Chain A
C-alpha cells in the first residue's frame, strides 16, 4: 500500500515553554484523535514527530496512525532549526519507499514545520540538505516573533502565520493541519498528490497566509 508520510517538525525551544508548548501537545493529540475517525487517513497517513531545541530529535519515527502514541513534549534550549531540517531529510530518505519493480512508491511526504524563533545553528547547511529530498506539500508556520523570511526559504509559497501562541490559535492551526492531511489522504487514494498551499483547505481566520 502506498503510504502518505507526514512529518511534524516542531520548535520546542525555551521560548515555547508554558502555554504554547502545552497547546502544541494538545494539538498533536487532537490531530491524531480526529484523523483516526477518517477511514482514508487511518489507513494511508503515517506520522512522525521531530522536535528541535538545542538539537533536533526524532521523537516519534514514522508510525501508522493506529499505532501512533502522542509523545510528551517539553520546551527548553535554543533553536537548532538547521539541524531539524537535516534530520527530517535524513528520516525521509530512510523511511519513504521509492518505486521499484516489486514495490509501489509511497506518496511524497508532507511537512508541517512550526517555529517561533530564529535559527541559532547553521541554517544554510540544513536547508541545503532539506532541498535534496522530494517533498509533497511543505508548510511552515511562523508563531509570534518567528522570522518569516527564513521560513519562506523552506516553504517558498506556503508560509502561514499565527500572531499569538495561545491555545485557541494553536488549536486552529492543528485543526487545519488535520484537515490538510485528511484531504491529502483522500486525494492520494484517488491518485492525485497535493503540492502547495492553494490545494490545501483554506486556513481559518486565526492563520494568516504570508505572501
Chain B
C-alpha cells in the first residue's frame, strides 16, 4: 500500500492506526474507490486496533467532496471519529495540552485528532500539512511524566483515575428539553445528573454535574450548586454542548455530549411581504373608519392577516357601513374573501358595497320608519310587512351581491390573465341592520359563511346573532357565490336570518373568522355569554379610535393568522355626556 500522506508523518509517537487511517484513506481516494469499499478495507485493522468501528455508519455519513482529496480525507477522519463513538470533550483552547498528554498516555486519540483538525484554521493552508507540522513540534517536546493527570482543574476530591475504558467507550448522550425564544425555560435541580446516572446505572443521589457549558449570550444559566438550568432563551439554536458529569464524590468527572435546541419565537418567523404591484384588484392592506350616525357610534377596522402577509397575498376581508338617515336604520356588513379563491378580495368588496347600498336605499323609505317590539315578536318572518318582510329584504340584498359578483366574473372591471368564474370571487357575508326603538333596540342579521355577530350588555348579557356555517370537517364553510347558499328556500332563509330586541346594549360586534376563531374557540364558546364578556373586557380599551382598534387586532394567537375585521357598534354618547 502506498501511504502517500503517511510518509509525511514521520511520527513514531502516533499510534499506528492513526497513521494507517490517513494513509489508507489517502491511497484509496487516489485510486478512486468508493466509501463502501474504503470502509470494508479499513474495518479489520481498525478493529484490531481496539477501535469500535461502525462501518455502516461511516459509509453512510461519507460526503463526496469531488476531487479535493485532502478535504475528503479530513471529512472521512471526522466521520471515522464520529463512528468510533468517542466523545468530543474539552474546549479547543486546551487542545494542545490534552493532545500531548493523551498522546503519551495512548488515550482518546481519534477524538483529539478531530479536535486538532477542527482547530486548524482552514485559511492558513492545507490542514493536513499543518497537522504534520504540529506533530513535528510535538516530537521535539519532551515526554511529560505519564502519571501526571492532565484533568481540568475544577474537579472534586483527588481520586485514582477511573479505568480509561470507563470514560472512552461508554456512549451516553442527553438531550435537554427543547426551549422557545422568549418563553421561560427551566430544568429542575439535579435532573440532568439523575438522567445520566440512570442511563449509566450510577447512584442518582450521588451523581452531579460539575460543569455545563451553555452557549454565550443564549439567555440560559446553569447553576453549578443545584444543577438547575433556568432563564429565558434569547436566540434560536440547535447545538451539541458538553458537560462534566461526576458519578459520585469519589470519582473524577466524565465529559459527555448534551444537545440543546431552542426554537425561534414563532412571531419572529412571519414575513411581511407586499402583494405584487401588478396584480389586478389592488387593495389596501389596512382599512379603518369611525362614524357617529344617529344613535350609533361605529368603530371599524380591517387588517391583512399574518398568513397573507407571509406569502405577499392581499387582504381578502372587507367591510361597509351605511345609514338610512330618514329612518335611523344602521347597516353594517363584513365579508371574508376565501383564501382559496384568487380574486376573493374583489368578491368581498363587491358584496359589502352592494348590500350596504341596497339596504340603505330600501330602509330609507317611510315604510320602515316605525317598528315596534310587539310587531316584531308577532311576525313570523320579521317586522310586520311594511313593504316586504325584513328577512326577505336582507336575503334580496345578499342575492343582489351574488348577481353583482356574477356580473364582475362575466365582465371583469380589470384585465385578467384568463376569464374568471364566480367561484374565483368566493366570499362570506354578514349583514347586520339595527334601529333604535322608543324603548330598546332592534337588530336583525343575515349571514353566509363563518365569522359572526352578537350583541352584548355588561355585565353578563350576550346574545349571538349568527349561526356559523361550519361544515362537518374543520374549516368548511359556504359562500355568497354559491347559488344554493343564496337560494330562496324557507329553510335556507330561516337558517341565515336572526333578529333580536334588547332593552339596552353596550355593544354589537360584527366580525370575520380572523377574530371569531381565536376569541371563540368552539361553537359552545360562541353561545357562552362569558366568552363575549371576556372579549369585551379585552376590546373595550381599544375602542377609543379605529386606529387603536387596528392595533389591537394585531394580537398573536397561535394558529390564527387570517385577515381580521371587526366592527363595533356602540350607543352614541349624548352631547351632555361629552
B194 at the interface (CB under 8 A from A): no
- In the complex, which residues 3-54 of chain A have their Cβ closer than 8 Å to any Cβ of chain B? 17-23, 33, 36-40, 42-44
Contact status B60-A18, CB under 8 Å? yes
With A and B bound together, what is the CA distance between A69 and B178 in angstroms?
8
With A and B bound together, what is the CA distance between A206 and B338 in angstroms?
35
With A and B bound together, what is the CA distance between A107 and B266 in angstroms?
20
Contact status B474-A190, CB under 8 Å? no
A172 to chain B, nearest CB (A): 15
Contact status A66-B180, CB under 8 Å? yes
Contact with A along B514-543 (1 / 0, CB 8 A): 000000011111000000000000000000
**Which of B69-77, B364-372, B547-555, B556-564 is near enough to bind chain A?**
B556-564
Q: Which residues of A have CB within 8 Å of B204?
A: none
B58 to chain A, nearest CB (A): 10
With A and B bound together, what is the CA distance between A22 and B36 in angstroms?
14
A1 at the interface (CB under 8 A from B): yes
Complex partner residue of A107 from B59, B474, B524, CB under 8 angstroms: B474
Contact status B178-A101, CB under 8 Å? no
With A and B bound together, what is the CA distance between A102 and B525 in angstroms?
7
A175 at the interface (CB under 8 A from B): no
Q: Which residues of A have CB within 8 Å of B269?
A: 37-39, 42
A205 at the interface (CB under 8 A from B): no
Given A2-B559, A39-B310, A186-B307: A191 and B340 interface contact (C-beta under 8 Å): yes
With A and B bound together, what is the CA distance between A17 and B523 in angstroms?
50
Given A39-B266, A43-B266, A66-B263: A167 and B60 interface contact (C-beta under 8 Å): yes
Q: Which residues of A have CB within 8 Å of B306?
A: 39
Contact status B56-A99, CB under 8 Å? no
Q: Which residues of A have CB within 8 Å of B178?
A: 66-69
With A and B bound together, what is the CA distance between A20 and B57 in angstroms?
10
Q: Which residues of B have CB within 8 Å of A69?
A: 175, 178, 261
With A and B bound together, what is the CA distance between A69 and B261 in angstroms?
9
With A and B bound together, what is the CA distance between A43 and B556 in angstroms?
12
The closest CB in chain A to the CB of B55 belongs to: A18
Complex partner residue of B475 from A2, A17, A103, CB under 8 angstroms: A2
Q: Which residues of A have CB within 8 Å of B55?
A: 18
With A and B bound together, what is the CA distance between A22 and B560 in angstroms?
37
Contact status A22-B56, CB under 8 Å? yes
- In the complex, which residues 147-189 of chain A have their Cβ closer than 8 Å to any Cβ of chain B? 167, 186, 188-189
Given A19-B56, A104-B522, A192-B339: A39 and B270 interface contact (C-beta under 8 Å): yes
Complex partner residue of B558 from A43, A102, A103, A108, CB under 8 angstroms: A43
B264 at the interface (CB under 8 A from A): yes
How many residue pairs link A and B with beta carbons under 8 A? The number is: 102
Q: Which residues of A have CB within 8 Å of B475?
A: 2, 107, 188, 191-193
Complex partner residue of A22 from B60, B175, B339, CB under 8 angstroms: B60
A128 at the interface (CB under 8 A from B): no
Complex partner residue of B340 from A103, A107, A190, CB under 8 angstroms: A190
- The tally of residues in A whose CB lies under 8 Å from a CB in B reads 41
With A and B bound together, what is the CA distance between A1 and B306 in angstroms?
16
A106 at the interface (CB under 8 A from B): yes
Contact status B522-A102, CB under 8 Å? yes
With A and B bound together, what is the CA distance between A43 and B558 in angstroms?
6
Complex partner residue of A37 from B61, B264, B311, B562, CB under 8 angstroms: B264
B236 to chain A, nearest CB (A): 8
A132 at the interface (CB under 8 A from B): no
Q: Which residues of A have CB within 8 Å of B476?
A: 191
Contact status A105-B522, CB under 8 Å? no
Contact status B473-A43, CB under 8 Å? no
Contact status A103-B521, CB under 8 Å? yes
Contact status A23-B60, CB under 8 Å? yes
Contact with A along B458-482 (1 / 0, CB 8 A): 0000000000000011111100000
B238 at the interface (CB under 8 A from A): yes
With A and B bound together, what is the CA distance between A189 and B59 in angstroms?
42
With A and B bound together, what is the CA distance between A73 and B57 in angstroms?
12
Q: Which residues of A have CB within 8 Å of B559?
A: 1-2, 43-44, 189
Q: Which residues of B have CB within 8 Å of A68?
A: 178
A62 to chain B, nearest CB (A): 15
The closest CB in chain B to the CB of A25 belongs to: B60
The closest CB in chain A to the CB of B316 belongs to: A190
A-B contact pairs, 14 of them (CB 8 A): A1-B521, A18-B55, A18-B59, A39-B266, A40-B561, A42-B264, A43-B558, A101-B522, A101-B524, A102-B522, A102-B524, A105-B473, A189-B561, A191-B476
Q: Which residues of B contact A (CB under 8 A)?
A: 55-57, 59-61, 175, 177-178, 180, 238, 261, 263-264, 266-267, 269-270, 306-307, 310-311, 338-340, 472-477, 521-525, 558-562
The 5 closest A-B pairs by CB, nearest first: A190-B339, A18-B56, A19-B60, A22-B60, A191-B475
